[in-house]
C-alpha cells in the first residue's frame, strides 16, 4: 500500500545487528506518557503476550526520563502542581491492588513514594512541587527499566529525533548522528520541550522573552532586572508560574495567617507586572471536595446519562447524517448544568433556587474590570478554603471535573456532530478556567502580590503592546498607556502549534495525514488517521498534539483514557503479523 510520506532508503542506516525476526520498537519522547507506553510493553512481554526477541529504543534528550522537561526535578519548588497528591499514580489501574505495606513494590503511587522519600509532601490533599513529582516519575521509570531489561533488549538514547520517514512497511528515525529502522514507532513528545507558542507579534512588537521555562534562566535577574516594568502575556497557570518565579523565586517570602496571605519583598522583584490576555478572565481556585460521600450518587447519576449519550455517539460515528450524532449544547451541556445544580441542592438544601446556567452565561459575557477580577479571585479562594459557602461557580467546576471521564468518552473520536464542535470548544475553554485552575494557596499568593503593589491588572483585557519610532515599548488599553521594559510570553503552544521543522510538523505537513487546528487525528488505538479515514500502520501518537480526536490529553491520569491499552493490543497483533 502506498502512503503519502516521502520514502527512500536510509542514508547511513547500518545493517541490523540482530536477527531479522527481532521486533524493533522506538519510543520517541519519554516523559510520563512515554513511560506509560514503556510499562505497557513491559507488561505484555512479561505476560508472554509478546514473545522475545524484542528490541526497544528510547529517545529522550532530557536528563530525567519519566519526568521529561515539564517535571524536571531540578526546577524550583515554588512551581507547584494543580493536580492533588492523591491523584498522582503512575500504576496501571490493574496493578493498584498490591499490598501498600510492601515496600518492595515494583510500582508505587505518589503518596506511597512520598511517605518513604519526601514525607513533607505526603499530604493527600496537598499540591506538591512539579520537581518533586519529577523525582517520583524518574524513579518509576528506573523501576520499569529494571523490569524491561530482564525480558527485552533496551537502549536509551539521550538525543532528539529530528526526522521521520517511511520505508515500505517500516519507519526510519533520524537523529543528528545516524538513522535507524523500526517496525513500530510511538511518538510521545508532549509539548516538544519547553518552547514558545507561535511567534508572538502584534504590529512590530515581538516578546522579549518568548518562553518562561526553565524559569531559573529565562526569568533570572539578568534576563528580567529588578525594578523593571514587565508586560506578561497570559493569565493562566503559566502566568502564575511567571509571577511566582519573579517574586518568591527571587527571595521574597509569603506568609499565611488565618487564611490570608501576605508578601514580604526581597528587593529583587520587578517593579511591576502587568498581565494581559484575550479574555482577561482569571482561573478560579481549585477547591477541596467536602462531604464527598453525599455527592457520589449525584455524579453516578449524571455520569450514567453522559455515558448513554456516548454510547449513542459510538453507534453513529460512521453516519453521514449529522442529526444522528449528539449535539453538545443541546444534549450534553444540560446534563452538566443539572449535575451542578443537584450537587448544590444536596449540600445547601436551605437555598430555594440556584441558576447555574445563568451564572455561566454571565461569566462568559463578563466585561473585565480589574477590581472585579480581584473580587472574583478572593471569593473563589474563600469558597475553595471553606470560608464561604459553595456556590454556582464551585458546583459547575466540580461537576465538570467529576463528569470529565464520561465527557472524554462522548467527545473523543468525533463523537459530536461537527456543527456543535465549535460550541463545545468555546465552553471547554471557559471550563478550563473554572474547573482546572490552580490550588487555592496559589490564588492566595497572587492576591498577596496584588496587595503588595507588584501586580497591576489595569491592562488585563484587550491590551496591545506597541513600539514607537524610538523603540520605546508601551502597553495600551483604551485610553491607558504605560511604558514597559520587557514583554514576556507566559503562554504554551496549542495542540496544532508544532515545533517548526520538528517531527510532528513533518507529519502534519504531509497532506494525507488528518490534521487541523486541534492537532493530529488518531483512532481509538492512538494510531494516526489518514485523510481517507484509514489507519497509518506502524505509528502511534499519544499526548497533547492529538487533542482534536482525544479530549483531555494534558494529564498525568492513567484512568482517563483507554488508548494505551488498545494500542498494546494492536502492538501484539503487529508482532504476530511481523513473524508470520
Pairing of strands 205-206, 201-202: antiparallel
Q: Using alpha carbons, list the distances in angstroms from residue 390 to 281, 402, 418, 556.
A: 20, 16, 35, 28
In angstroms, rounded to a whole number, what is the distance separating the alpha carbons of residues 22 and 40?
19
Return the pLDDT at 381.
Answer: 97
Residue 89 lies in a domain: no
Q: From first to last of its 580 residues, what are the pLDDT tens digits of the chain? A: 223 333 333 344 444 444 458 999 999 999 999 999 999 999 999 988 887 699 999 999 999 999 999 999 999 999 999 999 999 999 999 887 655 555 445 679 999 999 999 999 999 999 999 999 999 999 999 999 999 999 999 999 999 999 999 887 899 999 999 999 999 999 999 878 777 766 555 545 788 999 999 999 999 999 999 999 999 999 999 999 999 999 999 999 999 999 999 999 999 999 999 999 989 999 999 987 777 889 999 999 999 999 999 998 777 766 666 678 899 999 999 999 999 999 999 999 999 889 999 999 999 998 888 889 999 999 999 999 999 999 999 999 999 999 999 999 999 988 999 899 999 999 999 999 999 999 999 999 999 999 999 999 999 988 889 887 787 899 998 889 999 999 999 998 888 788 888 888 888 877 667 776 667 889 999 998 888 888 888 999 999 888 888 999 889 999 999 999 999 998 887 665 554 4
pLDDT score at 186? 97
Separation of CA 196 from chain center: 15
Same domain, 242 and 359: no
Same domain for 395 and 483?
no
Q: Which helix (H) or strand (E) holds 430?
A: helix 421-435
Q: What crossing angle do the helices spanning 130-148 and 110-117 adopt, rounded to 10°?
A: 100
354 and 431 in a single domain? The answer is: yes
Grid coordinates representing 251?
Answer: 527571595
| Nearest by Cα to 337 from 419, 289, 287, 400 | 400
136 inside domain: no
Domain-embedded: residue 535: yes
- What secondary structure, in 3-state letters, does 399-423 show? HHHHHHHHHHHHHCCCCCCHHHHHH
Whether residue 134 lies inside any domain: the answer is no
71: helix, strand or coil: coil
Whether 481 and 367 share a structural domain: no
Report the distance separating Cα 98 and Cα 103, nearest Å: 11
The x, y and z cell numbers of residue 193, run together, are: 520541550
Look at residues 392, 407, 435 and tell me which one is the last residue of a structural domain: 435
Residue 81 lies in a domain: no
User: Could you say which of 426, 455, 489 is where a domain stops?
Assistant: 489
Q: To 10 degrees, the CA torsion angle through 93, 98, 99, 102?
A: -110
Contact 545, 519 (CB under 8 A): yes
Mark whether 231 and 377 lie in a shared domain: no
CATH number of domain containing 185: 3.50.50.60
Shared-domain flag, residues 561 and 534: yes
Q: What is the CA radius of gyration of the chain?
A: 25
Mark 293-323 as b/e (b = at least 16 C-beta within 10 Å).
eebeebbeebbebbbebbeebeebeeeeeee
Statement to judge: residues 57 and 173 lie in one domain: yes
User: How many structural domains comprise the chain?
Assistant: 3
Please tell me the distance from the alpha carbon of residue 511 to that of residue 504, in angstroms, as a whole number.
13
Say how many C-beta atoms besides its own lie within 10 A of residue 100's C-beta. Answer: 13
Within a domain: residue 62? yes
Question: From CA 446, how far away is CA 373, in angstroms rounded?
Answer: 12
Asked if residue 162 and residue 46 are part of one domain, the reply reads yes
Tell me whether residue 342 is in a domain.
yes
Helix (H, G, I), strand (E, B) or coil at 146: helix
> Is residue 93 one of the residues assigned to a domain?
no
* Residue 12: CB atoms within 10 Å: 9
Kind plus residue range of the DSSP H or E element containing 579: helix 563-579
Burial of 347 (0-12, 13-18, 19+ CB in 10 A): middle
331 and 215 together in one domain: no
**Residue 55 to residue 260: CA distance in whole angstroms:** 56
| C-alpha dist (Å) from residue 404 to 185, 293, 411 | 30, 18, 10
- List beta partners, residue 522: 528
pTM exceeds 0.85: yes
pLDDT for 575 equals 62
CATH of the domain at 277: 3.50.50
**Do both 162 and 64 map to the same domain?**
yes
Q: Residues 394, 347: contact at Cβ < 8 Å? A: no
Residues 364 and 463 in one domain: no
Whether 412 and 335 share a structural domain: yes
Of 246, 270, 193, 143, nearest in space to 28 by CA = 193
Closest CA to 513 of 522, 500, 526, 502: 522
Cell of 152: 527485552
Residue 226 and residue 265: Cα distance in Å, rounded? 11
* Structural domain that includes position 464: 202-282+441-489
Amino acid at each position: 500500500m502506498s502512503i503519502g510520506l516521502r520514502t527512500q532508503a536510509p542514508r547511513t542506516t547500518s545493517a541490523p545487528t540482530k536477527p531479522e525476526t527481532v521486533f524493533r520498537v522506538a519510543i520517541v519522547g519519554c516523559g510520563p506518557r512515554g513511560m506509560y507506553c514503556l510499562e505497557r510493553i513491559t507488561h505484555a512481554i512479561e505476560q508472554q503476550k509478546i514473545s522475545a526477541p524484542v528490541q526497544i529504543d528510547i529517545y529522550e534528550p532530557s536528563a530525567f526520563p519519566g519526568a521529561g522537561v515539564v517535571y524536571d526535578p531540578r526546577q524550583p519548588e515554588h512551581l507547584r502542581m494543580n493536580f492533588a497528591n492523591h491523584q498522582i499514580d503512575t500504576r496501571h489501574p490493574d496493578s493498584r491492588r498490591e499490598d501498600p505495606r510492601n515496600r518492595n513494590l515494583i510500582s508505587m503511587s505518589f503518596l506511597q513514594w512520598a511517605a518513604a522519600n519526601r514525607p513533607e509532601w505526603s499530604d493527600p490533599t496537598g499540591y506538591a512541587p512539579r520537581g518533586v513529582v519529577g523525582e517520583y516519575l524518574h524513579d518509576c521509570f528506573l523501576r520499569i527499566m529494571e523490569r524491561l531489561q530482564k525480558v527485552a533488549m533496551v537502549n536509551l538514547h539521550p538525543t532528539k529525533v529530528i526526522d521521520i520517514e517511511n520505508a515500505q512497511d517500516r519507519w526510519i528515525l533520524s537523529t543528528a548522528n545516524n538513522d535507524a529502522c523500526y517496525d513500530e514507532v510511538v511518538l510521545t513528545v508532549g509539548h516538544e520541550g519547553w518552547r514558545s507558542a507561535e511567534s508572538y507579534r502584534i504590529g512590530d512588537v515581538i516578546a522579549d522573552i518568548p518562553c518562561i521555562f526553565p524559569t531559573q534562566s529565562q526569568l533570572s535577574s539578568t534576563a528580567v532586572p529588578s525594578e523593571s516594568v514587565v508586560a506578561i502575556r497570559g493569565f493562566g497557570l503559566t502566568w502564575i508560574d511567571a509571577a511566582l518565579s519573579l517574586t518568591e523565586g527571587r527571595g521574597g517570602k509569603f506568609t499565611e495567617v488565618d487564611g490570608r496571605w501576605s508578601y514580604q519583598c526581597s528587593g529583587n522583584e520587578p517593579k511591576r507586572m502587568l498581565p494581559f490576555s484575550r479574555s482577561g478572565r482569571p482561573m478560579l481556585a481549585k477547591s477541596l471536595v467536602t462531604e464527598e460521600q453525599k455527592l457520589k450518587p449525584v455524579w453516578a447519576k449524571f455520569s450514567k446519562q453522559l455515558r448513554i449519550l456516548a454510547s449513542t455517539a459510538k453507534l453513529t460515528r460512521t453516519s453521514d447524517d449529522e442529526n444522528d450524532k449528539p449535539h453538545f449544547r443541546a444534549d450534553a451541556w444540560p446534563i452538566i448544568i443539572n449535575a451542578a445544580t443537584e450537587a448544590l441542592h444536596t449540600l445547601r438544601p436551605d437555598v430555594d433556587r440556584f441558576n447555574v446556567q445563568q451564572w455561566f452565561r454571565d461569566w462568559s459575557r463578563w466585561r473585565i474590570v480589574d477590581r472585579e477580577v480581584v473580587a472574583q479571585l478572593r471569593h473563589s479562594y474563600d469558597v475553595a478554603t471553606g470560608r464561604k459557602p459553595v456556590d454556582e461557580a464551585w458546583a459547575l467546576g466540580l461537576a465538570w471535573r467529576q463528569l470529565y471521564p464520561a465527557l472524554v468518552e462522548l467527545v473523543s473520536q468525533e463523537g459530536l456532530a461537527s456543527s456543535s464542535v465549535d460550541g463545545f470548544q468555546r465552553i471547554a475553554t471557559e471550563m478550563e478556567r473554572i474547573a482546572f485552575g490552580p490550588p487555592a494557596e496559589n490564588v492566595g499568593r497572587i492576591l498577596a502580590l496584588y496587595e503588595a503593589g507588584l501586580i497591576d491588572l489595569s491592562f488585563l483585557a484587550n491590551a496591545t503592546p506597541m513600539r514607537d519610532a524610538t523603540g520605546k515599548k508601551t502597553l495600551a488599553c483604551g485610553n491607558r498607556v504605560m511604558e514597559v521594559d520587557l514583554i514576556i510570553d507566559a503562554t504554551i503552544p496549542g495542540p496544532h502549534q508544532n515545533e517548526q521543522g520538528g517531527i510532528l510538523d513533518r507529519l502534519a505537513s504531509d497532506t494525507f495525514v488528518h490534521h487541523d487546528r486541534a492537532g493530529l487525528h488518531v483512532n481509538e488505538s492512538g494510531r494516526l488517521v489518514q485523510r481517507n479515514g484509514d489507519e497509518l500502520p506502524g505509528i502511534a501518537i499519544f499526548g497533547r498534539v492529538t487533542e482534536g480526536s482525544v479530549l483531555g490529553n494534558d494529564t498525568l491520569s492513567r484512568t482517563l483514557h483507554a488508548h494505551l491499552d488498545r494500542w498494546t493490543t494492536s502492538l501484539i497483533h503487529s508482532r504476530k503479523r511481523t513473524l508470520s
